[in-house]
Amino acid sequence: MSLSTTVEKKDAAAAWHEALENIRGRIHRQTFDTWFRPLRCTGNGDDGVHLAVPSKFHLDWISDNYLSFITEQLSGICGREVEVRLEIAPELATAVEEAAPASPERSAPSTGEVKAAPICRLNERYTFETFVTGPSNQFARAASQAVADKPAHAYNPLFIYGGTGLGKTHLLHAIGLQMLERERGTRVIYVSTEAFMNDMIDSVRHEKMEAFRARYRSQCDVLLVDDIQFLGGKDRTQEEFFHTFNHLYESERQIVITCDKLPHEIPGIEERLRTRFQCGLLVDIKPPEMETRVAILRNKAETEKITLPDDVALFLATNITSNVRELEGSLIRLQAFASMYHAPITLELAREQLKSLASAPERALSPEHIQKLVANYFSLKVSDLRSQRRHRAVSLPRQIAMFLCRKHCHLSFPEIGERFGGKDHTTVISAVRKIETSLGNDGDIKKSVEAIETSLLV
């Protein structure tokens, strides 16, 4: 899926310029200025059109949310399938900042005469106010707020761990932004582990290690480090980070670290670093519950000024259960398609555009799939539905699942009971009748059943 080599560089640039103009008319202005305006076409090669981005942060966000949209635009203009290649060009960051009078990101404070490190800037969208809090992340949010309120007093270090796309980076930015809001002169450094390592390598190569150490130690009040798991196996970088950590910790300056796993689970990390990560507070972020996922979508829709119907929000939240970034990205892609064709966002459009999220018809009619959807909706495990637990938090979802199995799988009551851990057929009969009655007089149960059926019958 490569762009033909007969297309010259100037043609690629012209195609990109035309694509930008098309995108400008279909995307909210702030979104366009933040993510599309900074991109530069650097030509094309056998492997596709090359677009330069100013930072890894831009690269990751565009890859997750807009790459397919950009590819579709360029393919339409070029009259052929085009593969888009993104590459980081740090020099664009300065050029973009000078060209744009109202940048949506806030730079980290100056570090004096020492040359600024290649440090990612704080994104002003990632505040505590825009972080949607639910049972899955409320402890991590509260701990982050406490650190922002009283750096190096509440929890130091703060170690936030959890899966990809759950909000760890959001909290890092929120901590830094609030600290700057409270005291503008606070020297906050937000840096990915990869950027820290690359900065160190560059400093070694140019014999500027003194400046490197000053930047991260004596001229840093708060160090926010993202994705520390990438430190594994990097012995020289671990050595420098170890001494940086010690210096900041002993001088009572705040350190916040994110990771995709617990310290003792990180491969290739020295024991002395593990113990230091564990000496503070460890908090986790879990995949969001159904209500939180819907709230995240509504919050994103409000921020991007997207009209999002309730049934579409429920459809997306039911089908995307473990990754906030993917959840938000699905909404952005849906909005991009709707804008491109001047169509409203509807459930039918969502089903058509997000087929990869929907289940195959034969799977949708199986009791196992119904159990999985119900468990996801209520933030349970399938094993909970098949267990002997009688607490309402489990028994009600189990009854709903039995009702849906009876309605859509056409199984006998004994067969359904067998699928739920060997329940007696009378238990299944009682469950089905209870839900049938509740659909007429209990709005919450009716809403839950309809939401699950929306995702089941796609």
pLDDT of residue 304: 82
Position 183 pLDDT exceeds 70: yes
Nearest to 52 by CA among 16, 23, 92: 92
Position 109 pLDDT exceeds 60: no
Superfamily of domain 9-98: DnaA, N-terminal domain (3.30.300.180)
Position 442 pLDDT exceeds 80: yes
At residue 412, the 3 state secondary structure works out as coil
Measured between its terminal Cα atoms, the distance across the chain in Å is 30
pLDDT of residue 398: 94
pLDDT of residue 101: 35
pLDDT band at 458 (very low <50, low <70, confident <90, very high): low
pLDDT of residue 61: 75
pLDDT of residue 326: 81
Instruction: Please state, rounded to an integer, the average pLDDT across all residues of the chain.
Output: 81
pLDDT band at 176 (very low <50, low <70, confident <90, very high): very high
pLDDT of residue 30: 61
- Name the least confident of 15-29, 285-299, 419-433: 15-29
Quick one: fold of 361-456?
A: Chromosomal Replication Initiator Protein Dnaa; Chain: A; (1.10.1750)
Q: Are 282 and 263 in contact (CB under 8 A)?
A: yes
Q: Are strands 40-45 and 48-53 parallel, antiparallel or unpaired?
A: antiparallel
Alpha carbons 382 and 380: distance in angstroms, whole number: 7
Average pLDDT value for residue range 104-116:
38
Burial class (CB in 10 A: 0-12, 13-18, 19+), 379: buried
pLDDT tens, position by position, 299-345: 888 888 888 888 888 888 887 776 788 888 888 888 888 887 788 88
Average pLDDT value for residue range 142-150:
92
Nearest to 271 by CA among 244, 240, 232, 236: 232
Q: Are strands 222-226 and 40-45 parallel, antiparallel or unpaired?
A: unpaired
Domain pair 290-357 / 361-456, same fold = no
Position 158 pLDDT exceeds 90: yes
Q: Please state which CATH class domain 105-285 belongs to.
A: alpha beta
Taking the whole predicted model, whether its pTM rises above 0.75 is answered as no
Q: Which CATH number fits domain 290-357: 1.20.1050.10, 1.10.8.60, 3.90.1200.10, 1.10.10.10?
A: 1.10.8.60
Position 100 pLDDT exceeds 70: no
Average pLDDT value for residue range 146-171:
89
Q: Give the percent of the chain with pLDDT over 70.
A: 86
pLDDT band at 346 (very low <50, low <70, confident <90, very high): confident
Q: Are 77 and 18 in contact (CB under 8 A)?
A: yes
pLDDT band at 105 (very low <50, low <70, confident <90, very high): very low
Position 33 pLDDT exceeds 80: no
Each domain of the chain, given as residue ranges in start order, spans 9-98, 105-285, 290-357, 361-456
Q: Are 447 and 400 in contact (CB under 8 A)?
A: no
